[in-house]
Structure 1
């Protein structure tokens, strides 16, 4: 009887709305299909540059077209994520040619090798401090990140070691940020799609440069994110906002959503849906290109 009562209690908090009324949907919803191979190739000219319509869509276009609109509303076909994500993460510029991108990859691979060599050439004192401040946490995190994903599954998986090197090297590249728990959750999907270690590193650099990444619930950036979210709730869900206010300071801290912001909803949705959210953020459709990814 107790178990049945518990199940009924849980059901009271399970709200499902598989479909939204049109009044609550964006007017362009369903106008664009997922960006697939043929649509993507249609945005590339003979030099491999992404056409202007893809970069700055400025008028309504037939279903299936529209570049950033297609990514925002329909996502990216899994088969081309590894090619498109580097553009969204600003590793490649839209105006670059295929030849220029290959030259960039060669240059960036050399830079990545130099960063890694700098890490491996630390003095014993430097290495000891690095191990305490960075490597100890990275080593713990990577072995439990996305291990259900076939790409990272199994003992001695070289992809896990690649993820580890990327995170250690990033801490050397950007010592002001270093490493914080949660970064492995952000880099793992990129590595699984982009595949190349150096390319993934530079995509991750782009992600970190354009994301308000929060390393601690007390961080100034977390408070900034929560400020945005509180104001959004005040404007769109006034009754819920008033309920939080009635709870006092604890309610407005909104502890229930800290992980949403830390990991960009990655653990709140199945992976496929979470990555769709990421792509929509990275498209920056109807927001300033200077805006930060994963902001509420």
Structure 2
């Protein structure tokens, strides 16, 4: 911790712990190499079906997916394609889903003037503001009048029509942008996004009770995994236990807390659902790692809740390689929480 002499006292946290000790990692860590083209093809039979789904998910969890085939593999992880589907069946599905997608878009474009007015106020105004500032450092979305930005805009607007219960809330553009950059096709990206929203429990919903449920989950996880940190928050009072500094971690699945390459590696590892039931929220798989990497830097002298918030936000982009080391203890605790809390 560095304290900088100035008119105001500043606290700067720098977290550098590139590798977890072997005692804290899963016993099968480093058991799989990255899934590249040749390895991916070995998982497919002559009809294009995935032969052993469990082994594939294990390989993705431990080794990740080569960027060159993410657009082909992610649709399986996001429940757009079935692992049992053949190449011909997937192509037929794409044609069917493309037709459905443009029917959704036609419904949006054929709204009455009153419907358009309400839609603009409730959805489109926010989408238009968000898409132009989402992932602009990514070359895929850079530049003025970038057609990919307009494609992302259409996907989000069409999703709001497809699922009016959720509609659109800030943060969803951060979730769909990486999908579009890897999957590329507009319709395919849309349906991958639908799968992402249906099969995960991170917050892309405006309801406060949803976020509170996630923070309850997080508080219990910290109580079991890192009692010292939990006790510190308890000592600070109810405001600290609200853990508002973790809001962005959950909302965007750590996307802004890590470099993009690591964030996407985390996402696909969690989407693989290896040895984990239910949630695919990277927040639950990775929060213990986030805290483990940072716990030695937690100062017991942080007495103000505002500084706890600064601490949480200060972890952004301060992690190094090795964050994905999954501990056996974490998996046991996670299963216990699923059985007791829900």
Q: Specify if TM > 0.5.
A: yes
Q: Render the CA deviation track for 1:181-222: whole Å, top value 9, x for unaligned.
A: 000000000000000000000000000001224247861121
Query: What 5-or-longer segments of structure 2 have no aligned partner?
Result: 285-342
2:29 paired residue number: 29
1:291 paired residue number: 279
2:133 is aligned with 1:133: no
Greater shift, 252-261 or 213-222, is seen at: 213-222
Structure 1 pair 112–278 and aligned structure 2 pair: CA distance change class (3 A): same
1:186 paired residue number: 175
Rounded Cα–Cα distance in structure 1 between residues aligned with 2:283 and 2:212:
12
Give how far 1:83 is off. Answer: 0.1
Mapping of 1:206-221 within 5 angstroms? 206-215=195-204, 219-221=208-210
Give how far 1:294 is off. Answer: 3.1
Mapping of 1:97-246 within 5 angstroms? 97-215=86-204, 219-246=208-235
Indicate the SS of the match to 2:282. coil
2:255 paired residue number: 266
Rounded Cα–Cα distance in structure 2 between residues aligned with 1:222 and 1:72:
26
Indicate the SS of the match to 1:14. coil
Structure 1 pair 88–245 and aligned structure 2 pair: CA distance change class (3 A): same
Query: What 5-or-longer segments of structure 1 have no aligned partner?
Result: 57-65
Rounded Cα–Cα distance in structure 1 between residues aligned with 2:82 and 2:283:
23
Contact 1:91 1:202 in 2 (8 A): yes
Contact 2:169 2:206 in 1 (8 A): no
- TM-score, normalisation: structure 2: 0.79
RCO higher in structure (CA 8 A, sep ≥6): 2
Contact 1:212 1:292 in 2 (8 A): yes
Contact 2:200 2:281 in 1 (8 A): yes
- TM-score, normalisation: structure 1: 0.91
Rounded Cα–Cα distance in structure 1 between residues aligned with 2:134 and 2:111:
27
2:38 paired residue number: 38
Instruction: Say what the alpha-carbon RMSD is for the aligned residues.
Output: 1.8
